[in-house]
Chain A
Amino acid sequence: MHMSDALVSPAVAVGMYALSSACAGTSIKKLSVSADAPKLPTMAVSAALVFAGQMVNYTIPGTGSSGHICGGVLLAALLGPYAGFLSLAAILAIQCLFFADGGIMALGANMWNMGFYSCVAAYFLIWRPIIASAKGNPKNTRTRIIIASILSSVVSLQFGAFSVVLETSLSGITELPFGAFVMLMQPIHLAIGLLEGVITASVLVFVYESRKELIKDIPENDSKDQKRTFAQVIAILAILVLFTGGGLSLLASSNPDGLEWSLFGNAENGYASNMSLDEDNFGVTGELTQMAGVIQERTAFLPDYGFKQSESQAGTAISGIIGSGIVAIAAVLLWIICRRRIKK
């Protein structure tokens, strides 16, 4: 999910840098006053572990394909939110500055999209409430870990993907209407998030069973619970996630403009013009944004993503079909090229 420099405008890039630096600054401050903050080598070795772990392929059962992990939730569970965020930020910075993966200007955005949600937000909103609520009555810790990891991963990846869409749209780079872009990104990242969650859960359960003191917030006096098998827990969760995910996407697809409206203010004016206004405030030269604004106003804000001139239903269908066809061809081409290069 590394964003390239080509997808963010300078204003958005600088804004995201500001957000991520603020988060890093707060983290450093919190760590310096915290008594049980992880030590520097622990952070470094955990970050190195996740860095190396990101390169391992995991076979997805029943599909023959394989996936990777990103590791944000894992880091937060081991190090806590602040040290976790810094470690993930370090991983991303090293990938960017020393291995040229991910853009230098997009680094701020990448840290936010991948680090903030999985380490900070998911930790406080999901991980800790689920794990630490067991303090008085420490039961089912194992199950709690599985649920917390999967939920944290899924939710943080959804937010991460949404941020990618938001940043790209704000940058005025794509003609793709916001709603359609969201519909394209969220389902893909639902699957990625589930995989990430299950792998994270497996690793954490393994660590819990051999060295539970390594995981944050595990109550000390917890008793060994009756073992629900992994498959059972995942089945329950999958159903839950599918229901909520399906519900949400139904909601979003029936009323995508509502989403835009809520994000960009008055829909009457079209979000494109609002955007260029925002960018003016950021201090970007007017010529470019104005031009982008004019063109987007004319093209981007189309109901149901049809052609502008022909407002028929056929237009919608054709654009959908051609679009998906081209995406498929591009995907196949890309796959072939990458495969061939790897084989060499």
Chain B
Amino acid sequence: MPDFDSAINELRLLDDISGKDSFIHRIHPVAKLITTIIYILITMSFDKYSLSGLMAMFLYPIFVFSSSGLSMKNGLYKLRYVLPLICLVGIFNPFFDKESLFNIGMISVSGGTMSMLTMVAKGVLCLLSSYAFVATTAMDSCCAGLRRLGVPNLIVALFLMTYRYVFVLIDELSNMLIAYRLRAPEHKGIHISAWGSFLGQLLIRSMDRAEELYNSMELRGFEGDFRYAGCRRLERSDILYMLILIATFVMARYINIARVIGGLFV
């Protein structure tokens, strides 16, 4: 099951990268999250034909990727999950919107073509910016940030514990898969005869584990209220980072930077 292995490697890789240290990694998670959300909102609000306007928005992910040492390839690799649906939706635009917008030499470019390209570009931008946030924010600091933003305690506790046990269960599952593959080398996936028992076994064991886990929490004084270690405050540099970037986004939204620059040469 190469899919499973590569999925696991991807999880571990992202978990590693997000724990690294860089100028971007050190920015407060709340500042980064708000910046990312506003970036996505502004990107999505671009006109559906405004491909040239969007071009300036590419600068933000490139800035984050380069200044935090992320690999663009890993980021773009994530596109394989989201691109199919975008393509499915966008591929029809050229057939329904045939009005010619402009001509490049002999070729007339229709509205549908432009809106399709714009949609794909938006998809790429949104993904890259999300990836830039995820890969520069360790999960525990992200959770602390979520709590500061008012996400209920129970939910954040659920995030923390789920994340922790995802890695434990992945280890168990990959051991089970090795055992399975050794006995069924020809199979690409789990055979139908084992559909129930494969996950079912792990499920029953996990429920026992959950029971023991609860005991262990109770023994350390847990009475229903989840308490955490603290989170550092927003500092002036965090706010500055956020404000400068947001101002830049807004500027790029109202001034078509690519067109302005192009205008200088024409």
Contacts and interface: CB of A to CB of B under 8 A. Distances in A.
Partners in one complex: yes
Interface of A: 1-10, 13, 24-25, 28, 31, 39-49, 51-53, 55-59, 61, 64, 66-67, 78, 86-87, 89-91, 93-94, 96-105, 164, 168, 172-177, 180-181, 184, 198-199, 201-207, 210-211, 214, 284-285, 287-288, 291-292, 295, 298-300, 302, 307-308, 319, 322-323, 326-327, 330, 334, 337-338, 341-343
Interface stretch (B86-94, B228-236, B240-248): B86-94
Given A99-B14, A103-B126, A103-B130, A203 B159 contact: no
A45 B210 contact: yes
B96 A299 contact: yes
B78 A91 contact: no
B155 A45 contact: no
B126 A341 contact: no
Contacts of B1: 56-57
Contacts of B112: 175
A44 B91 contact: no
Interface of B: 1-4, 6-8, 10-11, 14-15, 18, 36-37, 40-41, 43-45, 47-48, 75, 77-78, 80-93, 95-99, 111-112, 115, 119-120, 122-123, 126-127, 130-131, 133-135, 139, 142, 146, 152, 154-155, 157-159, 161-166, 168-170, 172-173, 177, 187-192, 195-204, 206-207, 209-211, 213-214, 217, 226
Contacts of B80: 334, 337-338, 341
Given A4-B127, A87-B158, 17 more contacts: A4-B86, A46-B207, A47-B158, A48-B162, A49-B206, A55-B7, A56-B199, A64-B188, A94-B162, A100-B127, A100-B131, A103-B127, A105-B44, A173-B48, A176-B93, A204-B196, A295-B99
Contacts of B99: 295, 298
A6 B86 contact: yes
Contacts of A302: 96
B95 A51 contact: no
Contact of B40 (A42, A58, A105): A105
Contact of A4 (B48, B126, B158, B189): B126
B207 A45 contact: yes
A299 B97 CA distance: 6
Contacts of B177: 56
A52 to B, nearest CB: 4
Contacts of B158: 40, 43-44, 47, 86-87, 90
Nearest to A12: B44
A168 to B, nearest CB: 6
Contacts, number: 308
Contact of A103 (B6, B40, B95, B135): B40
Contacts of B48: 172-173, 288, 291-292
A9 B162 contact: no
A100 to B, nearest CB: 4
Given A49-B169, A99-B11, A59 B87 contact: no
A100 B82 CA distance: 10
Contact of B6 (A210, A323, A327, A342): A342
Contacts of B168: 48
A340 B70 CA distance: 22
B202 A49 contact: yes
A164 B201 CA distance: 34
Contact of B189 (A39, A59, A99, A292): A59
A174 B45 contact: no
Contact of B198 (A25, A56, A86, A334): A56
Nearest to A298: B99
Contacts of B198: 56
Contacts of B165: 44-45, 48-49
Contacts of B130: 5, 96, 100, 103-104
Interface centre among B80, B130, B135, B177 (most CB of A within 10 A): B130
A10 B190 CA distance: 40
Nearest to A288: B47
A31 B162 CA distance: 18
Contacts of A203: 195-196, 199-200, 203
B134 A97 contact: yes
A24, A67, A99 interface centre (most CB from chain B within 10 Å): A99
A161 B207 CA distance: 31
Contact of B190 (A58, A204, A322): A58
Nearest to B115: A175
Of the candidates A6, A48, A59, A330, the one having the most CB atoms from chain B within 10 angstroms of its own CB is A6
Contacts of B2: 342-343
Contacts of B173: 52-53, 55-56
Contacts of B196: 201-206
15 contacts: A2-B81, A39-B210, A45-B207, A48-B206, A67-B189, A98-B163, A99-B11, A103-B127, A173-B89, A176-B89, A203-B196, A204-B200, A295-B99, A330-B91, A334-B84
